[in-house]
Amino acid sequence: MRRPYFVLMMTFVTGLIAYSFQATYPVHAAQSPSGTARIIAKVVLNGKAPVAGRLPMGADPACLTQNGGKAVLDPTVEADANGNLKDVLVYVKDIVGSYPAPTTPFTLDQSGCMYKPHVFGVIAGQPVEILNSDPTLHNIHPLPRVNPGFNIGQPVKGLKSIKTFAKPEAPFHVRCDVHGWMSAYIGVFSHPFFGVSNDTGQVELKNLPAGTFQIQAWQEKYGIQTQSVTVAAGESKEIVFTFKAQ
Amino acid sequence: MRFAIVVLFLCMATRILASGADNVGNRDHGKIVYERYCMTCHGERGNGAGEFAPYTNPKPRDFRKGTFKWRSTPSGSLPLVSDLERTIREGVYWTAMPSFFVLNPRARADVIAYLQSFSDRWTSEQPAPLLVIPPEPANTSASVQRGRDVYEAQSCAKCHGDQGMGDGESSKTLVDDWGNPIVPFDLTKGHMKGGSSSEDLYRVFMTGLNGTPMPSFSDTIKPDEAWDLVHYIQSLNAQNRRQK
């Protein structure tokens, strides 16, 4: 009689312990971005871009060497002669559904004492590989408002650290305290419908489902603009975001 | 009956461990302690903007972000309650934060429970793995010399300077997470801010100081190298005294 009683009680105990560890987060079925609509955003700067200052690479001889002694300019506002604005993060503000985070890391490189890329987005939970390609000390110091931050020293060329940001969050600053000019911004999303404007100011949001979306464009100096855009299945719609130069 | 009590205990212990709640202070009592001893600097809302805050440097910690310098946990993580207890008990040397050694342990536990109410990180985050500090080897001249090599290899001099005096090439541009100017610690001063024991020093560069430019080097410094670096940093103070 004692043995069945013991087995029963152990099962009960195991169940209780398992319950105590149970995650409280709701579970949604993950979706793949398989829609056929797309939005092509063009980002332009109205007016003359501010003159980009020369970054003080001379503060660290290794940084100067990595750039071959050439001047490196502040990337805060990068626009070409036609006003095409680079490094603007464009994204769908809210969308229903749960999209799986890629397991392939997104690489943030520290090269020539600059962050490459300067602005980028990841899906919440996606690994971010932080690489030091420079023969000097960098410390990678993100300043998120929702996710926990961290600050890691990478004193040797070739070092890699892998981190994740678990919760969606508006773009936040990343800095290297050793080289005060190094600056990057990361946006964390619950979905894959985001992109960063290229040299010609273009961003493509593809594989969208049909619907009406709030599309936002975020620029580190000029802030956020929002447009409401409706796309049908198979439709491709072009929109323009115009930031005023200041 | 005895078995049921054991089951109940197991479940409660599991819940407590899973939530990281290693504090058992009374929040209501802690509020009284906080308002009497902490509020003038850290502010009524725990935002670091108390009445005396403008006259302090560095500024009182803003508790709303759950960001604490001296921890036994990895960079970015919440501290253990025992870390907060140590800071409150010992104070922070060279700053306006005094030692509250005179408060009884119960009052310190209570005030920790209250300051945890300023950030929801304390209820939403899982406990982080604790830094394991191996036993300290002998502090020999060979260890000090190896520590100097570690100091150079890890580029500590970029901020702390070649002689550890806090005058490295990056020292003039540093700011904390709130944008306040901050300077690297002068390692020749003797007393360390977060405690001067060997373990205190070991902990600082292996976990970093959250909210400041001081990063964690746990990915790149091995435990035996860390002890050598501790011995080298301790030697900077002795060297300084000899030179005087």
Domain ranges of chain B: 23-124, 141-243
Please give the pLDDT value at position A9: 57
**Domain B141-243: which CATH number of 3.50.50.60, 3.60.60.10, 1.25.40.10, 1.10.760.10:** 1.10.760.10
Please give the pLDDT value at position A4: 55
Query: Percentage of chain A surpassing pLDDT 70?
Result: 87
**Total count of residues recorded for chain A:** 246
| Rounded CA separation B23/B19 (Å) | 11
- Chain B residues whose CB is inside 8 A of the A176 CB are none
Query: Percentage of chain B surpassing pLDDT 70?
Result: 88
CA of B115 to nearest chain A CA: how many angstroms apart? 18
Interface contact flag, A20 B11, Cβ < 8 Å:
yes
| Rounded CA separation B146/B138 (Å) | 13
Please give the pLDDT value at position A25: 36
Please give the pLDDT value at position B13: 43
Element housing A208 (H / E): strand A202-208
| Rounded CA separation A195/B122 (Å) | 34
Please give the pLDDT value at position A29: 53
Q: What single string gives the DSSP state of each residue in A50-105?
A: PPPPBP-GGGSHHHHHHTTT---B--SS-B-TT-BBPS-EEEES--SSB-PPPSSP
Interface contact flag, A148 B125, Cβ < 8 Å:
yes
Interface contact flag, A149 B11, Cβ < 8 Å:
no
Q: How many CA atoms lie within 13 A of B131 on its CB side?
A: 31
- Tell whether the model's pLDDT for residue B137 goes beyond 90: yes
Please give the pLDDT value at position B24: 81
* Confidence bin at A26 (pLDDT 50/70/90): very low
Three-class SS state of A179: coil
Alpha-carbon separation of residue B99 from A241, B67, B88 (angstroms): 55, 20, 6
CA of B174 to nearest chain A CA: how many angstroms apart? 6
CA of B166 to nearest chain A CA: how many angstroms apart? 13
Is residue A177 within 8 A of residue B174, CB to CB? The reply is yes
Q: Which amino acid is at A58?
A: G
| Rounded CA separation B25/B105 (Å) | 10
Decide whether B23-124 matches B141-243 in CATH topology. yes
Please give the pLDDT value at position A98: 86
Q: Which two tokens stand for residue B129?
A: 């793995």
State pLDDT tens for residues B45-80.
Answer: 999 999 999 999 999 999 999 999 999 999 999 999
Average pLDDT of the residues in A41-58: 95
State pLDDT tens for residues B76-129.
Answer: 999 999 999 999 999 999 999 999 999 999 999 999 999 999 999 999 987 788
Is residue B207 within 8 A of residue B68, CB to CB? The reply is no
Please give the pLDDT value at position A23: 36
| Rounded CA separation A106/A123 (Å) | 10
Three-class SS state of A233: coil
Please give the pLDDT value at position B242: 54
Please give the pLDDT value at position B168: 96
Three-class SS state of A153: strand
- Chain A residues whose CB is inside 8 A of the B214 CB are 151
Phi, psi (degrees; rounded to nearest 5) at A14? -60, -40
Is residue B200 within 8 A of residue B91, CB to CB? The reply is no
Interface contact flag, A154 B220, Cβ < 8 Å:
yes
- Chain B residues whose CB is inside 8 A of the A132 CB are none
| Rounded CA separation B207/B132 (Å) | 11
- Chain A residues whose CB is inside 8 A of the B217 CB are 153, 155
Rounded to two decimals, the ipTM of the complex is 0.82
* Confidence bin at A153 (pLDDT 50/70/90): very high
Q: Establish, for the pair of chains A and B, how many residue pairs have beta carbons separated by less than 8 Å.
A: 94
| Rounded CA separation B88/B86 (Å) | 6
> DSSP assignment, residue A13?
H
3-state secondary structure chain B: CHHHHHHHHHHHHHHHHHHCCCCCCCHHHHHHHHHHHCHHHHCCCCCCCCCCHHHCCCCCCCHHHCCCCCCCCCCCCCCCHHHHHHHHHHCCCCCCCCCCCCCCHHHHHHHHHHHHHHCCHHHHCCCCCCCCCCCCCCCCHHHHHHHHHHHHHCCCHHHHCCCCCCCCCCHHHCECCCCCECCCCCCCCCCCCCCCCHHHHHHHHHHCCCCCCCCECCCCCCHHHHHHHHHHHHHHHHHHHHHC
Q: Which amino acid is at A83?
A: G
Sign of CA dihedral B80, B81, B84, B90: negative
Q: Which residue of B10, B76, B212 is in closest CB contact with A150?
A: B76
Please give the pLDDT value at position B237: 86
> Tokens 């800071």 belong to which residue?
B87
Interface contact flag, A155 B125, Cβ < 8 Å:
no
Is residue A66 within 8 A of residue A157, CB to CB? The reply is no
As assigned by CATH, the class of the B23-124 domain is mainly alpha
Q: Which two tokens stand for residue A102?
A: 């890629």
Is residue B229 within 8 A of residue B205, CB to CB? The reply is yes
Q: Which amino acid is at A211?
A: G
State pLDDT tens for residues B167-210.
Answer: 999 999 999 999 999 999 999 998 899 998 999 999 999 999 99
- Chain A residues whose CB is inside 8 A of the B15 CB are 20
